[in-house]
Amino acid sequence: MKHLPYVLFALWFAALAAVPFLASNYIVKIATFLAMYGALALSWNFIGGYTGYPSFSTAAFFGLGAYSGALLQNAGVWVGFAWLGGAVVVTVFAALLGFAILRMKGHYFAIASIALVEMLMLTASLWSGLTGGGEGLNVKIMPGGPDYIGRVFLYTMLGIMLAAFIATVLVDRSRLGFGLRCIQQNEDAADMVGVDVRRYKTAAFALSAVFCGAVGAAYASWVAYISPSDSFSILLTLKVPVMVLLGGPGTVFGPIIGSAAFVLMEETIWARFLDYHQAILGLVIVLLIFFLPGGLLKLFSGRRAS
């Protein structure tokens, strides 16, 4: 019984991996999005779920990863290394910056993390010599035809999601995870009993960045064109925390459940009401906060307990 969630996750992973052999390219694209948002949600969970810091910098990491990956690739670096490079750049950026902004708490941290997205977007559109400015940046299209490319990116995103998942499981069971939970409950008390608060928070922030960077870089190669407003999207920076809140923050499986539920809802329901897309998303958020404060996962476990 204890292993059931892991079995379910393995089945879910296998199902996504089997999609190219069973379904059309459109479904492959949805499966890729499921894996991509799964990875992003797992990433945010480190800082937002375990540590309880209201971070809205997902899009900053994603966009920075996209630009770093694209620029490396355009400079002639092999695709795989370009993705890795994107992840490394973003992680270093997050670790350095985390040292400064993780001193803030609550609203101040939230605002600083949103400002990060805005600042990177402005930088990307101003620095046109490097990034192509507002016109965006073209990335070499991968050779091999749509079927092949579809598969490559599905498996890449699945790989990143799996890595993020394994990292989550490891953190969840380690001292780091314990320390982060302590910080979430009461940071001062955690500091008192000897948790190295600063280092732990920085680690959580960097962990929340590394996979976003990889996803961003892979995304840039996938769509072969990136622009500042696309890469540093405020909508993305909100969507990902909402997915985790939907699933259950601070848990191993919550982000996967939440992102899957969110993406499937988006594809099946909202796609039919394009004019009201944002309003429906807003409504989902409002309902979520009032009626599902602990996420879907809590709904199930709560039932089991009673």
The residue from 284, 294, 298, 301 that contacts another protein (CB under 8 A) is 284
HSE-up (13 A, CA, CB side) for residue 29: 7
Measured distance CA(49)–CA(200) in Å, rounded: 14
The nearer residue to another protein, 229 or 301, going by C-beta atoms, is 229
The residue from 140, 173, 272, 277 that contacts another protein (CB under 8 A) is 277
Q: Does 119 bind another protein (CB under 8 A)?
A: yes
Measured distance CA(99)–CA(202) in Å, rounded: 6
The residue from 65, 85, 213, 241 that contacts another protein (CB under 8 A) is 241
Residue 69 has which token pair?
Answer: 């990956």
> Strands 137-138 and 225-226: what pairing?
antiparallel
The residue from 275, 291, 303, 304 that contacts another protein (CB under 8 A) is 275
Question: In angstroms, what is the minimal distance from the CB of 241 to another protein?
Answer: 7
The nearer residue to another protein, 118 or 172, going by C-beta atoms, is 118
Residues in contact with 107: Cβ distance below 8 Å, sequence separation at least 6, in sequence order: none
The residue from 108, 148, 225, 300 that contacts another protein (CB under 8 A) is 108
Stretch of 66-74, 84-92, 219-227, 233-241 lying at the interface with another protein (CB under 8 A): 233-241
Stretch of 73-81, 117-125, 166-174, 197-205 lying at the interface with another protein (CB under 8 A): 117-125
Q: Does 48 bind another protein (CB under 8 A)?
A: yes
- 249, 295 contact by CB (below 8 A): yes
Question: In angstroms, what is the minimal distance from the CB of 102 to another protein?
Answer: 10
Site residues (CB under 8 A) for another protein, limited to 3-32: none
- How far does CA 95 lie from the centroid of its chain? 17
Residues in contact with 147: Cβ distance below 8 Å, sequence separation at least 6, in sequence order: 20, 25
Residues in contact with 193: Cβ distance below 8 Å, sequence separation at least 6, in sequence order: 182
Q: Does 145 bind another protein (CB under 8 A)?
A: no
* Segment holding 138, helix H or strand E: strand 137-138
The residue from 115, 163, 261, 292 that contacts another protein (CB under 8 A) is 115
Q: Does 246 bind another protein (CB under 8 A)?
A: no
The residue from 31, 112, 149, 296 that contacts another protein (CB under 8 A) is 112
Q: Does 282 bind another protein (CB under 8 A)?
A: yes
Q: Does 114 bind another protein (CB under 8 A)?
A: yes
Measured distance CA(87)–CA(164) in Å, rounded: 12
Q: Does 183 bind another protein (CB under 8 A)?
A: no
Residues in contact with 208: Cβ distance below 8 Å, sequence separation at least 6, in sequence order: 43, 44, 45, 46, 47, 48, 55, 58, 61, 94
Neighbours of 282 (CB within 10 A): 12
Total residues interacting with another protein, rule: CB under 8 A: 41
At residue 162, what are phi and psi to the nearest 5 degrees?
-65, -45
Short-list 282, 299, 211, 283, CA closest to 248? 299
Binding residues vs another protein (CB under 8 A)? 48, 52, 54, 100-101, 103-104, 106-108, 110-112, 114-116, 118-119, 122-123, 125-126, 234, 238, 241-242, 245, 275-279, 281-286, 289-290, 293
